[in-house]
């Protein structure tokens, strides 16, 4: 049985915090599943940490369907949430078509979209049709060309009031949870306390109901850059580099492969085979 919206609401009611991680393929999903994480986000962050773009804007719906298919195949228990990428929910009709692909072709259990305002009609249209929606407020990466790299949101009274109003509006529109990205911790805690639905923080302090981290940040796969909000629990990038160097060195000096890495046949079979080849 997969984690449901009801399960998440019950966690909030009991005050139990939960973790979500991004996943982009079958292997990452299997590992997160083995670790027992209840939520996986197939994020459009795939554009930066996998595809190598500077922003998430180039990510297409085809990309999201492709990666979500792999994550769904790799998970059994976790709820899988797929991002609606840039400009795929500019209108209600666009959003319905885009979400339908993620649900039907990839098999996700929910979708996530950024912002409020015009997006509220989209949230209502999706949820009334039984398509669960996770909201996303604060720093919204798809708006990078509007807001630039000023990451922290809610730094002024007007911004803080709008963020709280937007969170309440998303809840009333039907969102079952809201990601708060790079929101000042006291404000994120206030928003969390004012909502019936859970909040999921990233760079927004410990007062949220859940936390989300990007796979590559959490595991230290980008050793040259660690975001301030990243909880780095391993340095797999360094380990991978060391392993690759060792592999290259063993190939160069003939230590790899050895007999145990090589295909073989029984000795008499191999002898007969070679004799047949030589006499051919």
Residue 242 is among the residues annotated as catalytic for this protein: no
Q: How far apart are CA 178 and CA 132, in angstroms?
A: 12
CB neighbour list of residue 105: distance below 8 Å, 6 or more residues apart: 65, 69
Alpha helices in the chain (DSSP H): 5-14, 26-34, 46-49, 61-73, 92-101, 119-128, 144-147, 157-173, 185-194, 215-218, 236-253, 267-279
H-run or E-run covering 40: strand 39-42
Q: How far apart are CA 130 and CA 108, in angstroms?
A: 13
C-alpha dihedral sign at 218, 222, 228, 229: negative
Q: Can you read off the two tokens belonging to residue 260? A: 């145990």
Q: How far apart are CA 39 and CA 29, in angstroms?
A: 10
127 - beta bridge partners? none
- In 3D space, the residue among 165, 200, 207 whose CA is nearest the CA of residue 184 turns out to be 207
- In 3D space, the residue among 187, 198, 209 whose CA is nearest the CA of residue 134 turns out to be 198
HSE, side-chain direction, 13 A CA sphere, residue 272: 5
Q: Can you read off the two tokens belonging to residue 239? A: 């380990």
Cis ω before 256 (30° cut-off from 0): no
Catalytic residue among 10, 16, 172, 181: 181
Q: Can you read off the two tokens belonging to residue 128? A: 């009334």
Question: Active-site residues: which are they?
Answer: 181
């Amino acid at each position: 049985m997969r984690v449901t919206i009801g399960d998440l609401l019950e966690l909030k009611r009991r005050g139990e915090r939960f973790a979500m991680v991004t996943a982009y393929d079958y292997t990452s999903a299997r590992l997160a599943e083995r670790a027992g994480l209840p939520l996986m986000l197939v994020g459009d962050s795939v554009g930066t940490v996998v595809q190598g773009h500077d922003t998430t804007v180039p990510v297409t719906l085809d990309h999201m369907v492709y990666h979500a298919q792999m994550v769904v195949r790799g998970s059994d228990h976790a709820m899988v949430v797929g991002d609606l990428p840039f400009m795929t929910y500019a209108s209600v009709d666009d959003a319905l078509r885009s979400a339908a692909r993620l649900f039907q072709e990839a098999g996700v259990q929910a979708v996530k979209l950024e912002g409020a305002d015009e997006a509220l009609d989209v949230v209502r249209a999706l949820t009334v049709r039984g398509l669960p929606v996770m909201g996303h407020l604060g720093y919204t990466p798809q708006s990078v060309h509007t807001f630039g790299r000023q990451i922290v949101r809610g730094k002024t009274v007007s911004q803080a009031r709008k963020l709280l109003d937007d969170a309440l509006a998303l809840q009333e529109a039907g969102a079952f949870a809201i990601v708060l990205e790079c929101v000042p911790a006291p404000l994120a805690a206030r928003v969390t306390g004012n909502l019936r639905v859970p909040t999921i923080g990233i760079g927004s302090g410990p007062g949220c109901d859940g936390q989300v981290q990007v796979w590559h940040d959490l595991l230290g796969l980008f050793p040259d850059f660690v975001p301030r909000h990243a909880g780095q629990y391993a340095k797999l990038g360094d380990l991978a580099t060391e392993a690759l160097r060792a592999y290259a060195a063993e190939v160069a000096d003939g230590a790899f492969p050895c007999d145990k890495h090589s295909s073989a046949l029984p000795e008499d079979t191999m002898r007969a085979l070679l004799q047949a080849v030589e006499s051919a």
